[in-house]
Amino acid sequence: MNTTCIMCPMGCSLTIEEIGGAITVKGNGCPRGEKYGRAEYTHPERVVTTLLKGAFGGVVSVKTDRPIPKDKIGDLLAWAASYRLERAVSTGDVIEENAADTGANIVATSDFIMK
């Protein structure tokens, strides 16, 4: 597996292989790249950012408060597409706990005022 380390702007190209149950990471310029490569290979996760619509118009930008498994991102985005915010929120407010059963909370990254 080939990927790019996103832990710093260097963007090292990583080659990750599993041979006989042992995972090796090559191409990393520092130890953080090895840790990142192993995580990408075994259980890739991402912090997700998206928008939620207000029930009466407008949108609020949000993000998960922790990385979620990549295979749960589709569930989270489907939940976000159907959700309608019915209250004002401030940046940092938790809008939904355990959104789409991902284990992550959805947090506002902008203020939202009801229209």
b/e 17-53 (16+ beta carbons within 10 angstroms → b):
eeeeeeeebebbeeeebbebbeebbeeebeebebebe
Residue closer to ligand SF4 (CB basis): 12 or 52: 12
CA distance 67 to 61: 17
At 113, is the secondary structure helix, strand, or coil? coil
Residue closer to ligand SF4 (CB basis): 30 or 81: 30
Q: Which residue's CB comes closest to ligand SF4? A: 33
Q: What is the dihedral of CA 61, 47, 92, 109, to 10 degrees?
A: -20
Q: Of the candidates 1, 15, 24, 32, which one interacts with ligand SF4 according to CB under 6 A? A: 32
Residue closer to ligand SF4 (CB basis): 2 or 20: 2
Binding mask 1-30 for ligand SF4 (x = CB under 6 A): ----x-xx-xxx---------------xxx
Residues that bind ligand SF4 (CB under 6 A): 5, 7-8, 10-12, 28-30, 32-33
